[in-house]
Amino acid sequence: LPVLAVVGRPNVGKSTLVNRVLGRREAVVQDVPGVTRDRVAYDALWNGRRFTLVDTGGWEPDAQGRAAAIADQARYAMTVADAVLLVVDARVGITETDAAVARVLQRGGKPVVLAANKVDDTKGEADVAELWRLGLGEPWPVSALHGRGSGDLLDKVLEVLPEAPQEGRFGTGGPRRVALVGRPNVGKSSLLNAVTKENRAVVDAVAGTTVDPVDSLVELGDEVWRFVDTAGLRKKVTFASGAEYYASLRTAAAIEAAEVAVVLLDASEPLSEQDQRVITTVVETGRALVLAFNKWDLLDEDRRELLEREIDRDLQRIRWAPRVNISARTRRAVDKLAPALRTSLEGWEQRIPTGRLNSWLSELVAAHPHPVRGGKQTRILFATQAGSKPPRFVLFTSGPVDVAYTRYIERRLREDYGFAGTPIQITVRIKE
């Protein structure tokens, strides 16, 4: 999401304005000098547009109102934000600190909106014109306390903030889209037959659903699912050469078209390189994942034990994926597929509100700071969940972050928030 940073001296009413924008009493209301807030970033919504609001007041290194400290705050805002909201106290007028901050913001090249706060009535508007002298364009009169003018101010903010990227092409309603994938002979067509045969009538009765002829509607767990790109599973196409290549193309296309993939594995045989490639495609495409171990009817005690060891060894990186042990032949545990699919889709769509994410993150960082590298300590400043399907997080930091550390954050995210069945993407944005 685009980031708006709020900057200003203590006591100009930043936090009150932040609360006003959020429409709730989440931020600390008083500008208490030196108080480090546990929340620094919030999800905001105005006129149907979402953005992240960063309250830079929380990082005031020295909040005595001195120009240097506030100028640092402004510099920080310039590096993390797409746009900056500078709040000044219209009743006080331009202070030296305000002027210093304005100079930093002018040089920064980011769009700036100037809020002239504490304009509680028309009389107060007389004070506003003077603020043009800051050289930041039109001052917008607002009363954070009473809400006067805040709508116009937010409209102006949205004008300068870039649009959030599209969420993607899913969630248009209708049955959820499932890819049934796996290397040849794991039992994909057998499973498809097992789940479609006896409910063809139900499936045909789903009114008003136009189904691509290459897809199949399947009823599982009292719900209809759209298995995508199943034509090739029903009618086996054989290639003179390059069979594996065509199979992998089709696998990739099905995964691309789906929200969640069931990767079918043959439990009676060792996990292969080809199984791993299918799993990697799902993870890299960013789809939800369910692992289904098929041919369970063929397993004896020894093979079961061996399989557990193979899973521990070869599937470490996707420990988070739900597993079902099934048999397409005997229909064993086929009814376990639907709950597993739902679990994975839930994780795939999950969102952590920015405020909560950052309280959680600041605790994590306090307990486990990033290791010092070359005499330097990378600070983890804040994070946002930039999107879902799959969950994507952006870490704003003061320097490079060890891969092991982002893995640690991912592991903790999974421990504390679940995210079962979904890959998680974490990217780092360095702000100095």
| Interface residue list for ligand GDP (CB under 6 A) | 182, 184-190, 233, 294-295, 297-298, 327-329
Which C-beta is closer to ligand GDP: that of 187 or that of 387?
187
Cβ neighbours around 236 below 10 Å, total: 8
Minimum CB distance to ligand GDP smaller for 28 or for 191: 191
User: Shortest Cβ distance from residue 226 to ligand GDP (Å)?
Assistant: 19
| Closest separation in Å from C-beta 337 to ligand GDP | 13
Question: How many Å apart are CA 79 and CA 368, to the nearest integer?
Answer: 25
Q: Which is nearer to ligand GDP, 280 or 330 (CB)?
A: 330
What are the backbone angles phi and psi of residue 102, rounded to the nearest 5°? -60, -40
Beta carbon of residue 247, minimum distance to ligand GDP (angstroms, whole number): 9
Q: How far apart are CA 159 and CA 101, in angstroms?
A: 22
- Least distance CB 219 / ligand GDP (angstroms): 20
Nearer to ligand GDP, 340 or 428 (CB): 340
Residue 226 · residue 178 · CB < 8 Å: yes
Nearest to 278 by CA among 169, 186, 390: 186
Q: Strands 83-89, 112-117: parallel, antiparallel or unpaired by DSSP? A: parallel
As a whole number of Å, the CA-based R_g of the chain is 27
Phi, psi values for residue 171, rounded to 5°? 80, 25
**For ligand GDP, which is the closer residue by CB, 151 or 184?**
184
CB of 166 to ligand GDP, least distance (A): 35
User: Which residue, 110 or 277, is less far from ligand GDP as judged by CB?
Assistant: 277
Q: How far is CA 329 from CA 188, 268, 295, in A?
A: 11, 13, 7
Check: CB of residue 230 under 8 Å from CB of residue 261: no
CA distances from 326 to 197, 284, 299, 319 (A): 17, 26, 11, 19
Q: In this structure, what token pair is assigned to residue 378? A: 């990378």
Q: Which residue has the tokens 């969950």?
A: 391
Nearer to ligand GDP (CB atom), residue 295 or residue 389: 295
Contact 325, 267 (CB under 8 A): yes
DSSP E strand stretches across 56-191? 83-89, 112-117, 139-141, 176-181
The two three-digit tokens of residue 273, written as one number? 């390189």
For the CB of residue 267, give the shortest distance to ligand GDP in the complex, in Å. Answer: 9
Q: Least Å distance between CB 18 and ligand GDP?
A: 55
In angstroms, what is the minimal distance from the CB of 209 to ligand GDP?
A: 25
Q: How far is the CB of 317 from ligand GDP (least distance, A)?
A: 23
> How near is the Cβ of 79 to ligand GDP at its closest, in Å?
51
Residue whose pair of structure tokens reads 């509100």 in the numeric block? 353
Distances (CA, A) of 144 to 18, 98, 115: 8, 18, 10
Phi then psi for residue 141, to 5 deg, are -70, 135
Which residue, judged by CB position, is nearest to ligand GDP in the bound state? 187
Distance between CA atoms of residues 117 and 141, nearest Å: 6
* Minimum CB distance to ligand GDP smaller for 95 or for 276: 276
Closer by beta carbon to ligand GDP, 294 or else 385: 294
Nearer to ligand GDP, 36 or 193 (CB): 193
Pairing mode, if any, of strands 392-397 and 260-266?
A: unpaired
Closest CA to 31 of 2, 73, 1: 73
Give the residue with the Cβ less far from ligand GDP, 78 or 233.
Answer: 233
First to last CA, the chain: 20
In angstroms, give the least distance from the CB of 227 to ligand GDP: 13
- Nearest-angstrom CA–CA distance, 243 and 137: 65
